[in-house]
């Protein structure tokens, strides 16, 4: 997985690309530490270039969604490929994130 900060609908967001797997857990943890959810509880994710996510990645997204919710924010997912959206819905992640 690669990531970059990007503009999403006029707001700062994060673009995740490539394969998002267990091997990316350290990188994702570091990304969240840099983001400071307490100060910016809405996390916008642009997933247009994400090609795959495994169960560990789904778990990391659940953790992110819960942290945002605890801080009175939310995770919004933008531009995800249909098969990525389908995977997220299959595991009920759509109950924790908002698709746009």
- Rounded distance between C-alpha atoms, residue 7 and residue 46, angstroms: 9
Q: Averaged over 39-43, what is the pLDDT?
A: 91
Share the mean pLDDT of the chain.
Answer: 94
Q: Is the pLDDT of residue 33 over 90?
A: no
Number of domains in the chain: 1
Q: What is the pLDDT of residues 51-76, one digit of tens each?
A: 999 999 999 999 999 999 999 999 99
The pLDDT of residue 48: 97
Q: Quote the pLDDT of residue 66.
A: 94
Look at the alpha carbons of 83, 86, 90, 91 in this order and tell me if their dihedral is positive or negative: positive
Rounded-to-integer distance, Cα 76 and Cα 54, Å: 19
Pairing relation of β-strands 2-8 and 11-20?
antiparallel
Residue 35 is assigned to a structural domain of this protein: no
Range of the domain at 75: 1-28+40-97
Which CATH number do you get for residue 64?
3.30.750.24
* pLDDT confidence band for 78 (50 / 70 / 90): very high
């Amino acid at each position: 997985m690669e990531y970059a900060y990007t503009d999403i609908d006029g707001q700062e967001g994060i673009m995740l690309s490539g394969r998002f797997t267990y091997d990316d857990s350290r990188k994702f943890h570091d990304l969240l530490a840099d983001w400071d959810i307490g100060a910016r509880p809405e996390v916008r994710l642009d997933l247009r270039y994400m090609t795959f996510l495994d169960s560990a990645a789904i778990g990391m997204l659940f953790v992110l969604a819960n942290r945002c919710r605890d801080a009175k924010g939310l995770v919004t997912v933008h531009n995800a490929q249909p098969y990525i959206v389908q995977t997220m819905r299959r595991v009920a992640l759509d109950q924790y994130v908002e698709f746009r």
